[in-house]
Every structure is written in C-alpha cells, then in structure tokens.
Amino acid sequence: MKYYEEYKYVSHYFLCEITGQSEQNLTACEMERGLTPEWIAPEKMLEMYAKHHDFAATDEEKRGAYLREYTALTEYFKMFIT
C-alpha cells in the first residue's frame, strides 16, 4: 500500500491458472494507455520488473509501477525460501 498526498494506492495480487479462453474487456482508460493484459510466469515477471531503474530518467510513473511489482514479487518468492 502506498500513500500519496490525496489518495491511497492499494494493490491486490492473485495467483491463478489459465483454465480456458475468454474475450478481453478492457476499459476505455486501459485501451487509451495501451495496456495489454497477459499471463506471465512469476519468475519471468520478476526478471522484467527488476529493470525498474531503467525508467528513472525517462518515466517516473513506469519506474514506480515496476518497482511496486518487483517489491511484491520479491516478497512472494521469499515465501518459498527455506
């Protein structure tokens, strides 16, 4: 959870398995921003979001989003380390 001046950002994470196919129902905002949902293995996601620092000079919103996901995935993988 992150707090900003006038709002709070809460993320919820779910582990899922693909059981079939369906149509995508993106909101207008998601389409406008060019978002494309896809299923990605957690290990591959960790590798992708580890590059959050690459956006520091060019896109602070993307850097922050990648850092948030990287942090969550790091915590997820800690559950399996004994």
Backbone angles phi, psi at 35, to 5 degrees: -75, 140
pTM of the model: 0.66
What is the largest distance, in Å, between two alpha-carbon atoms of the chain? Answer: 44
Nearest to 44 by CA among 77, 13, 80, 20: 77
- pLDDT at site 38: 84
Label residue 28 by pLDDT band (50, 70, 90).
Answer: very high
Label residue 39 by pLDDT band (50, 70, 90).
Answer: confident
* Sequence-separated (6 or more) residues with CB below 8 Å from residue 72: 11, 13
Percent of the chain's residues with pLDDT above 90: 29
Task: Specify the amino acid at residue 3.
Answer: Y
DSSP class of residue 58 equals T
How far apart CA 44 and CA 58 sit, in angstroms, is 23
